[in-house]
Amino acid sequence: MHRLLRSVAISCHAAAVQRTDHGVRRLSITGSDVDPADEQVLRKRKFKPHQQSAELSEKLAGQMPSQARVVICGGGITGASVAYHLGLKGWGGETLLVEQDRVGGELPWSACGLAGRFERSYTELKLAEYSTDLIKSLTEQGLPTGWRQVGSLNLGRNFDRMTSFNRMKSQAIAWGMNCEVLTPEQCLERCPLISLDGVEGGLWIPEDGVCDPHLVCHAYLEEAKRMGVRVIEFCAIKKIHSAHGKVERVETTAGDVACEYFVNCSGFWAREVGTLSKPVVKVPLKAVEHHYLHTKPIDQLDPNTPFVRDFDGRIFFRECEGHILAGGFEREAKMVYEDGIIPLSQQARQHPPDWDHFHELLDSLLHRVPSFREAKLDRLTNSLQVFSPDCKWILGESPEIQNYYVAAGNKTMGVSASGGIGLVLTDLITKGFTYLDLHILDITRFLGLHNNRKFLRDRCKEAPGKHFEVNYPFEEFQTGRNLRMSPIYPQLKEAGAVFGQSMGYERPNYFDQNDKQDEFGLPRFRIARTKTFGKPPWFDHVASEYRACRERIGIADYSSFTKYDLWSKGNEVVELLQYLCSNDVDVAVGSIIHTGMQNPNGGYENDCSLARLSERHYMMIAPTIQQTRSMCWIRKHMPAHLRPKVNVADVTSMYTAICILGPYTRVLLSELTDTDLSPRSFPFFTYKELDVGLADGIRVLNITHTGELGYVLYIPNEYALHVYERLYQAGQKYNIQHAGYYATRALRIEKFYAFWGQDLDTFTTPLECGRSWRVKFNKPIEFIGRSALLKQREEGVKRMYVQLLLNDHDHEVDMWCWGDEPIYRDGVYVGMTTTTGYGYTFEKQVCLGFVRNIDANGQELPVTSEYVLSGHYEVEVAGVRFEAKVNLHSPNLPTKFPDREREAYHATRDRPDQADLLSFSSNLTTTGQ
């Protein structure tokens, strides 16, 4: 048959010969020259040590300094980039890089070498863009990198893929990426090798290119060494020691090094290196098989052949030194090292090729490029790669130990990520902040459950396949589910809940009464699916839930919210929160304070609600994704004199949170408690502890986080089912209805409520998003970020948070806004949308986002209300612009059930009468001074 297929058969036979009885080649576990103490440590970390001669050990001990400011573990391309950038900052002479093998030791045929910009988020794209520009710069300096700017051609086979390309083209002007949507014929012009069978079009990125990752790594290291960085090879980390919660020293096979900072850039081994400290630093990564196919040299193969990705075929290929290098991402990855034993060497990381697993990708490759059937096979390599549970990179300071940084999980795209990661990690080490918001990549986005080996085994079968899938809105993983569930989860599932997952928590996204039972009549577990960029399949379900929340009673599960208790014996907890928070927390007992925790630049590190339970006890409610992050921020920034005196406890898993929303909620809750719930006794934005039904100790907050009437009940878990059943039964007379996350999200978008992680991030300030009235500059304590906010108040904001209502948009047929759409004012690009959705009261698409004022020279000018309101606005959705009306204040939506308190409260922008309507003192205990 064909030459390539004949080569496959030969390679299969060779692969079979290479396998041992266990199916995988293994290194010898011990050697006569390995120190017994080292052997025990290395066994514990589940690494297999090299045989190291006494002469080499003595030589390494002589090279090892006794002290370094920064120790980098890992001489791959990421570690080399961090070393290079530390050198640029002047830290080269104080930086040590240790590598257990040879630096840049990854075998040259185990990487694709793409340096490209096609990433799903702005942050990832900007990091990749910097990496590409850096490689170009090193090449221009005469350093060997193998760089060639050949462009990348990304093929689409269906309407949704082309829609995603059009969305990226729309985003390109904001993200600074040069790209072009192509017809099938134009794709063929860019790469004559391909077959157009099934191709609907493509996306061309001309500034992408290819390089040799091995050469790039050595270029980083040569420059780093020139700037004073010391590099020691064949030296393994044995233990990372900490004192008082910070890195203190590193123990290696060549001796100990005292240091201030440790950087885990060990890539494939990052999770295992994380186990070498106490407490263990959890780096959730799992190794999977990943194949690269190399042909023999092909005559007259154009060296400028672009890097081609056929996303729907799950394959890519490129020209590489006269031959073809190809690979792809299977729908389900194949796990390795199920026993947790990870080999130490790069050579042992190479597994025999698995043609049975690769054949689907091979078929797709031959379908896309029929001429490859005549090519001769050189090799198929099985170069193991590690993936994180969400298929994103992992960066940042570890939650467990301060000054311990991690950079790992680059998902086969190490060279594209390396430069940007090195830059931002160096910024974090040397300055404490960087130029990009990194929260979507920060290691604090995980919990301990994400590092569970069995969870990683399940999730990382699926994660690599996501790499080439269409990036649909609200996309959900199918694996690692039914893990964190509230006590009322079975009742919600029986009621028709269709679930989404956040921080491992199953929460209803919407409720669907159709097909909610399996063939045995039992409640079916269903995962929410959108799978479109237009009107979603759940539209009508959410519309019904939305109406219930506005006109009757909706009941929603808020249990995934982050919940902390903070308390002290004296006034120390007040002092701490006054320092951490920009709002004034020293308010009457029973008050609820909505506040930000700002960083030194004034950006939001957290956006939370604080309920003052007693004079010295607060409960904090924060977004679900803040569960790890907030605790890290509080502990890191707690003044030393308060550490022994203030207690902070994560009580997220202790309480079930049930929210009841709607005009009849006060009447309903009054039927289940003896406490007076009248507005005078229990005003808006206050807290009470109630008996509900037969249960006691229920923490009830008179807010809903949506702008609607209602309460959130924080219920001790043992009472949760009882309280839920009482609420649901008593609510039948009011036609109570379950509501999911999509409905509450639609409510808050219409009410112009900003949420952290969606609208707010570490670069957004309260002044920009209309929350200056929540910043108390006259507090007796200098809170974090005060100086930066005062400066911004004096100079004026450079962007402003707005609400946009799309005109002439048909929600039935037009593509929807899903976030990251460009905003135009008078035909000029001025910003991007953040959160978007359909407004069921407005009957329009509603977009929240930020608007800038950029002059003809590209300079940012202050943004004023007059500037915003005087423009003509459009929002571009997948290449089509729609006119939009702009709002600066939270709107009062028409309702049959007006409420003076809630109508006065607007989450966005100041209202002069708010302070009077939301203040109270006569019926609550005031705090002592």
Q: pLDDT (tens digit, 9 = 90+) per residue, 718-741?
A: 999 999 999 999 999 999 999 999
Separation CA 729–CA 549 (nearest Å)? 17
Helix (H) or strand (E) holding 600, with range, is none
Of the candidates 319, 346, 377, which is a domain's last residue? 377
CA distances to 448, 718, 839 from 897, in Å: 45, 35, 19
CATH number for position 814: 2.40.30.110
Kindly state the tokens that stand for 594: 């909505």
Q: Residue 143 burial (CB < 10 Å; 0-12/13-18/19+)? A: middle
Q: pLDDT (tens digit, 9 = 90+) per residue, 591-610?
A: 999 999 999 999 999 999 99
For tokens 């921080």, what's the residue? 503
Separation CA 393–CA 382 (nearest Å)? 22
Q: What percent of the chain has pLDDT over 90?
A: 80
pLDDT for position 337 = 86
In sequence order, what E strands does 144-300 have? Answer: 152-156, 180-182, 201-205, 209-210, 230-232, 237-243, 246-252, 255-258, 261-264, 286-288, 291-295
Of 571, 596, 929, 608, the residue nearest 784 (C-alpha): 596
Does pTM surpass 0.95?
Answer: no
Question: Same domain, yes or no, for 360 and 216?
Answer: no
Is beta strand 617-622 parallel, antiparallel or unpaired with respect to 646-650? unpaired
Is the bond preceding residue 279 a cis peptide, omega within 30 degrees?
yes
Mean pLDDT of the chain: 90
Of 760, 776, 756, the residue nearest 768 (C-alpha): 760
Separation CA 62–CA 251 (nearest Å)? 15
pLDDT for position 37 = 52
In sequence order, what E strands does 281-349 have? Answer: 286-288, 291-295, 307-310, 315-320, 323-328
Separation CA 360–CA 364 (nearest Å)? 6
Task: Kindly report the number of other CB atoms within 10 A of residue 922's CB atom.
Answer: 5
Kindly state the tokens that stand for 524: 């079916």
267 DSSP assignment: G
pLDDT at 12 exceeding the cut of 50: no
CATH number for position 168: 3.30.9.10
Which residues have a Cβ under 8 Å from the Cβ of 406 and sit 6 or more positions away?
Answer: 263, 264, 270, 274, 281, 283, 394, 395, 396, 397, 398, 443
Separation CA 457–CA 702 (nearest Å)? 42
**Can you tell me the mean pLDDT for 430-448?**
96
Separation CA 724–CA 739 (nearest Å)? 14
pLDDT for position 338 = 79
Q: Count CA atoms within 13 Å of residue 594 on its CB side.
A: 23
pLDDT for position 339 = 74
C-alpha torsion sign, points 885, 889, 890, 896: negative
The one-letter amino acid code at 677 reads: L
Residue 714 belongs to some domain of the structure: no
pLDDT for position 2 = 47
Q: Count CA atoms within 13 Å of residue 632 on its CB side.
A: 25
Q: Count CA atoms within 13 Å of residue 560 on its CB side.
A: 24
For tokens 């004079």, what's the residue? 615
Of 144, 75, 77, 126, the residue nearest 413 (C-alpha): 77
Kindly state the tokens that stand for 688: 């009470």
Residue 861, helix vs strand vs coil:
strand
Task: Using pLDDT thresholds of 50, 70 and 90, give the confidence band for residue 108.
Answer: low
For tokens 């949760």, what's the residue? 720
Q: pLDDT (tens digit, 9 = 90+) per residue, 140-181?
A: 999 999 999 999 999 999 999 999 999 999 998 888 899 999
- Residue 174's DSSP bridge partners are none
pLDDT for position 54 = 62
Question: Same domain, yes or no, for 221 and 123?
Answer: yes
Concatenated DSSP letters for 804-828? EEESS--TTTSPPP-S--EEEETTE
In sequence order, what E strands does 411-535 have? Answer: 497-502, 505-511
Separation CA 507–CA 743 (nearest Å)? 13
Question: Same domain, yes or no, for 279 and 201?
Answer: no
Residue 809 belongs to some domain of the structure: yes
Contact, 711 vs 616, CB < 8 A?
no
Question: Same domain, yes or no, for 277 and 292?
Answer: no
CATH number for position 246: 3.50.50.60
Q: What percent of the chain has pLDDT over 70?
A: 89
Which has more confidence, 594 or 27? 594
The answer to which of 403-417, 439-453, 664-678 has the lowest mean pLDDT is: 403-417
Which residues have a Cβ under 8 Å from the Cβ of 786 and sit 6 or more positions away?
Answer: 582, 777
Separation CA 762–CA 433 (nearest Å)? 10
Separation CA 303–CA 146 (nearest Å)? 12
Concatenated DSSP letters for 679-693? TTTS-TTBEEEEEET
Question: Same domain, yes or no, for 239 and 334?
Answer: no
Which has more confidence, 5 or 706? 706
Task: Using pLDDT thresholds of 50, 70 and 90, give the confidence band for residue 56.
Answer: low
- Residue 205's DSSP bridge partners are 152
pLDDT for position 384 = 86
Contact, 267 vs 386, CB < 8 A?
yes
Is beta strand 604-614 parallel, antiparallel or unpaired with respect to 592-598? antiparallel
CA distances to 268, 328, 381, 689, 712 from 614, in Å: 49, 58, 64, 11, 19
Residue 833 belongs to some domain of the structure: yes
Separation CA 633–CA 397 (nearest Å)? 11
Separation CA 413–CA 128 (nearest Å)? 9
Q: Residue 920 burial (CB < 10 Å; 0-12/13-18/19+)? A: middle
Question: Same domain, yes or no, for 131 and 222?
Answer: yes
Separation CA 154–CA 199 (nearest Å)? 10
**Can you tell me the mean pLDDT for 116-132?**
92
Question: Same domain, yes or no, for 334 and 298?
Answer: yes
Residue 161, helix vs strand vs coil:
helix
Question: Same domain, yes or no, for 264 and 399?
Answer: yes
**Can you tell me the mean pLDDT for 658-665?**
97
pLDDT for position 60 = 65
Question: Same domain, yes or no, for 406 and 298?
Answer: no
| Torsion angle of C-alpha atoms 8, 13, 18, 24, degrees rounded to 10 | 70
pLDDT for position 3 = 55
Instruction: Give the number of domains in the chain.
Output: 3
Question: Same domain, yes or no, for 137 and 154?
Answer: no
Residue 177 belongs to some domain of the structure: yes
CA distances to 224, 617, 763 from 855, in Å: 40, 50, 22
Q: pLDDT (tens digit, 9 = 90+) per residue, 525-574?
A: 999 999 999 999 999 999 999 999 999 999 999 999 999 999 999 999 99
**How many residues are there in the chain?**
929
Q: pLDDT (tens digit, 9 = 90+) per residue, 279-301?
A: 999 999 999 999 999 999 999 99
Residue 732 belongs to some domain of the structure: no
Residue 606 belongs to some domain of the structure: no
Residue 554 belongs to some domain of the structure: no
Residue 111 belongs to some domain of the structure: yes
Of 413, 186, 172, the residue nearest 316 (C-alpha): 413
Question: Same domain, yes or no, for 217 and 340?
Answer: no
Of the candidates 334, 356, 377, which is a domain's last residue? 377
Q: pLDDT (tens digit, 9 = 90+) per residue, 379-412?
A: 999 988 899 999 999 999 999 999 999 999 987 6
C-alpha torsion sign, points 789, 707, 835, 432: positive
Separation CA 640–CA 637 (nearest Å)? 9
Contact, 582 vs 598, CB < 8 A?
yes
Separation CA 512–CA 442 (nearest Å)? 35
The alpha-helical segments, DSSP class H, found in 354-447 are 355-368, 414-430
Of 538, 540, 516, the residue nearest 529 (C-alpha): 538
pLDDT for position 104 = 83
**Can you tell me the mean pLDDT for 891-909?**
73
The CA R_g of the chain, rounded to the nearest whole Å, is 29
CA distances to 315, 627, 709 from 400, in Å: 39, 14, 40
Of the candidates 362, 377, 392, which is a domain's last residue? 377
**Can you tell me the mean pLDDT for 670-675?**
97
Quote the domain boundaries for residue 340.
147-208+288-377
Concatenated DSSP letters for 631-696? HHHHHHHS-GGGTTTEEEEE-GGGEEEEEEESTTHHHHHHHT-SS--STTTS-TTBEEEEEETTEE
pLDDT at 31 exceeding the cut of 50: no
C-alpha torsion sign, points 529, 532, 537, 543: positive
The alpha-helical segments, DSSP class H, found in 405-483 are 414-430, 453-466
**Can you tell me the mean pLDDT for 629-657?**
97
Separation CA 906–CA 261 (nearest Å)? 45
Question: Same domain, yes or no, for 170 and 261?
Answer: no
pLDDT for position 19 = 37
Q: Residue 232 burial (CB < 10 Å; 0-12/13-18/19+)? A: buried
